[in-house]
Structure 1
Amino acid sequence: MGRSSIDLYSNDVGAPFVDIQSFAAYVGGSPTNISVGGRRLGLKTAIITGVGVDPVGDFILNFLDKEGVDTQFSPRKPGHRTSAVVLGIEPPNKFPLVYYRDNCADIELTIDDVLAAPIADAKVFQFAGTNLCKEPSRSATMFGAEIARQAGVDVIFDVDFRPD
């Protein structure tokens, strides 16, 4: 449960950020990546995330559907945007990163969104720390974790720390 985004990675490896000419688009967000990775390993996975009613949300849901991740519990959030991340690549140790998470859809997950998902039937409920930074996602996430705990489902907390 948590973050999803379009991740734009520089195609110009080594170029200073201001000189980047093009980017490659990927789907990201820690919980989203974990769902895809689990699915690629043959597990049945689903994600609870929010996306905007926008082409970026379409991009993310299309990718997840092609990967076989169940997205039926990932609502569209009208009036909110799907998140974006832009990354420069300047090896060996400089990777300028910009998050666009203002008015983001995934932080608008509600208790009703959680109630729509069969968390008690899962083997694992994993959520990201960024879910806890703001309401209504904070309450929804804690509610989901409590449903999982009471059902004997393993609960995994991914700190997913982002200083901004």
Structure 2
Amino acid sequence: MRRTTATIPLLAIAVAAVWLTGCAAEPDTVLQSDLPQVPGMVPRDTTGLRQSEGRVTAGQFSYKGPITNLNARAEETMSRFDQAGWKLASQTLSAATASFTYRKDNRTVSVEIIQNGLQPKMSTAVLTVTSEVAVKAAEPAATAEPVVVPVVVPAPAPVSG
């Protein structure tokens, strides 16, 4: 009985250490691709996901988390995109919102980070990925030229009087 009593606290400490270690590390990229995550924020929702050859070609990725310094969060996010080989196309920074667009091969990523002024812990970010490949895949297949089929209509019967 004594051995079990001593083992339980040690087991609890070991489980807590493994759990904390696993939760502390956020993945640097979305789905192990070349698309960086927004640092310091938790992924919440993904819609419209499309992948091709290990790359994210379309999708919208939502994040929530604390932002106490919007400029620092924007700089860290931009640094991740730069390191992953994305090229900055545009950026806008206001008091509560950072927006930027990056391009790489045939893909475009729009990033919007919004600092919640009333509750900074409930700030949000959205990554939206578009690409020519995803647009073409979403378009309906082209059809051939319409075929004209003649319709034969019989002449009306003569009316006798």
Asked if TM exceeds 0.5, the reply is: no
Higher RCO by CA contacts (8 Å cutoff, separation 6 or greater): 1
Structure with greater helix percent: 1
- Compare the two structures and name the one with the higher strand fraction: 2
- Scaled by the length of structure 1, the TM-score of the pair is 0.28
